[in-house]
Amino acid sequence: EAQVTQNPRYLITVTGKKLTVTCSQNMNHEYMSWYRQDPGLGLRQIYYSMNVEVTDKGDVPEGYKVSRKEKRNFPLILESPSPNQTSLYFCASGRGGLAGDTQYFGPGTRLTVL
């Protein structure tokens, strides 16, 4: 089954404790992206990657890091999480390397930072 998976699905952590949210896709997509969704603000792009070893900042990159060492994986790293990073996070992937092409979303990770 073609899908984007994220882990963990739910995470409660404390300020300053480094965490990683994994994202993996099995569709051989070149494009991958991370979004956060907050009430009243909609979906906002954090980082994206056009291909292996190519990453770029989105609209709200502060406080986040990403890496793209393999085509299928695109982990999101919070080195020192803060309460304002409490949010619902979605990973997405798309085909053909075109950022404007259809994107397929993972099920989301609900993060709470205390």
What residues line the site for other proteins (CB under 8 A)?
Answer: 33, 35, 40-45, 48, 50, 56, 58, 88, 90, 98-108
Question: What is the nearest approach in angstroms of other proteins to the Cβ of residue 49?
Answer: 9
CB of 93 to other proteins, least distance (A): 12
Min dist. Cβ of residue 18 to other proteins (A): 25
Please report how close the Cβ of residue 80 comes to other proteins at its closest, in angstroms: 26
Q: What is the end-to-end Cα distance of the chain in Å, rounded? A: 36
Which is closer to other proteins, CB of 14 or CB of 43? 43
Residue 26 or residue 102: which is nearer to other proteins going by CB?
A: 102
Tokens standing for residue 74: 């695109």
Q: Which residue, 58 or 63, is less far from other proteins as judged by CB? A: 58
